[in-house]
Amino acid sequence: LPFMKPILEDTRPPNHVGTCGDEDVCCLDVDAARHEYIVPPSALLIQRLRLIVADERDLPLVYLLINVTATVVPLVMVLILSTPSHAYGIAYLATVYGLYLQRFMLALHYGTHVAVFRNDLFVGRTLNALAPMVLAPLFGIPSGVYALHHAVMHHVENNKVGKDLSSTAGFQRDSVLAFLAYWLRFTIGSCVELPMYAWKQKRYSMAAQCALGFASTFAAYSFTARINSVAALWIFVVPYFVSSLALMFGNWSQHIFVDPDKPHCNYRLSYCAINHSDNQYTFNDGYHTVHHVNSRVHWSELPSKFLASLDDYAENDGLIFTGVGFFDVGIAVMRGKLDWLADKYVHVGQPSRSKEEIIALLRHRLRPVRTKSA
């Protein structure tokens, strides 16, 4: 009965999202335990860190950076000074990437949007440069380049064809060949296109920083290669290609469903992937639509902001999936498993659809965007 609707709604838990098939879906990420770091620092160091972090909610991110610095940097030195060996290089890369790649990339991501350490302190400004300038090249990202591509280009241009180097909109996004073309274009062309973009936007200092970042990273590789060419290959060259592949497939997957009718609507150029363990390792990265609506929202607030904006997803016909991560979505689409993905679709008030209609919607949003303003 209509008069009973408010009563029924009041009985729902505060983290209720909607329905997936016949099942109610709640947002389990709101209070989930964090797994971004592996080992916390000592109580004394934590006490000192509280004095220099900009927001104490970022302490898990700081712990991760300590983990990375304390393990990866020594491993790099050991690899350089060891007898040249591809077996050592493979072991190094498997260890570092297995432990940290996903975690570090998202730490770098959120640290780029909001400063982790206090910028009013010299030590804070110095530490804010640690991840993008010093550690990033060890994960295949040239020094000082990430902010220009992600915060300036990707978020400002918002996946527009011809403006965002990592735009997915112009591709048929269930095509493996299309993805390979997308990845190779970024991997080979970024060293030229990124500084050119900054120059055209009259961001001359960022253009210079980007060019210097590529040059300094190559110089670091050349210096290392003189000491141990095999180590240099596994520290700089292989990570560059592996990381670019992982990052581009991640971005491809996050922006795999783009509505060709409204390609610039934040609710129709991405989606949210909730209730997946990846969110506890990646600073709630699954809430990508929330992040595109407002990139300054703190990572710890993304699930609660998502819950508070469910009406916007209903109004804008936004996509939400439960129990899957971005890579799951990307792989499912590439394998033609839209029926499997439709079973993960969460209804929060979007137009009512059968499973077949959800599949048709997903297939429609895989079509290339052909408008001039795409």
Q: What is the pLDDT of residues 175-220, one digit of tens each?
A: 999 999 999 999 999 999 999 999 999 999 999 999 999 999 999 9
What is the average per-residue pLDDT within 234-245?
97
pLDDT per residue over 275-284, tens digit each? Answer: 999 999 999 9
* Res 1: pLDDT: 53
pLDDT per residue over 145-168, tens digit each? Answer: 999 999 899 999 989 998 999 999
Alpha helix (H) ranges present in the chain? 5-10, 43-49, 59-81, 86-113, 122-128, 146-147, 155-157, 176-200, 204-227, 229-232, 238-254, 278-281, 288-293, 302-308, 310-316, 326-334, 338-342, 355-364
pLDDT surpasses 90 at 10: no
* Res 12: pLDDT: 82
Token pair 């949007």 is found at 113
Token pair 């918002």 is found at 158
- H or E, element range at 320: strand 319-322
Other Cβ atoms within 10 Å of 102 Cβ, number: 19
pLDDT surpasses 80 at 6: no
Q: For the ranges 2-16, 114-128, 258-272, which has the lowest average pLDDT? A: 2-16
CA neighbours closer than 13 Å in the CB half-sphere of residue 91: 9
* Res 11: pLDDT: 78
pLDDT surpasses 70 at 371: no
* Res 4: pLDDT: 53
Q: Higher pLDDT residue, 7 or 157?
A: 157
* Res 370: pLDDT: 85
* Res 275: pLDDT: 97
What is the average per-residue pLDDT within 302-311?
97
Percent of the chain exceeding pLDDT 70 equals 96
pLDDT surpasses 70 at 70: yes
Q: How confident is the model at residue 361 (pLDDT cuts 50, 70, 90)?
A: very high
Q: How confident is the model at residue 5 (pLDDT cuts 50, 70, 90)?
A: low
3-class DSSP assignment, residue 19: strand
* Whole-Å CA distances, 57 to 62, 126, 277, 298: 10, 20, 20, 9
What is the average per-residue pLDDT within 13-22?
94
CA neighbours closer than 13 Å in the CB half-sphere of residue 40: 12
3-class DSSP assignment, residue 143: coil
* Alpha carbons 81 and 299: distance in angstroms, whole number: 39
* Alpha carbons 182 and 162: distance in angstroms, whole number: 13
Which range of 3-17, 147-161, 267-281 scores highest in mean pLDDT? It is 267-281
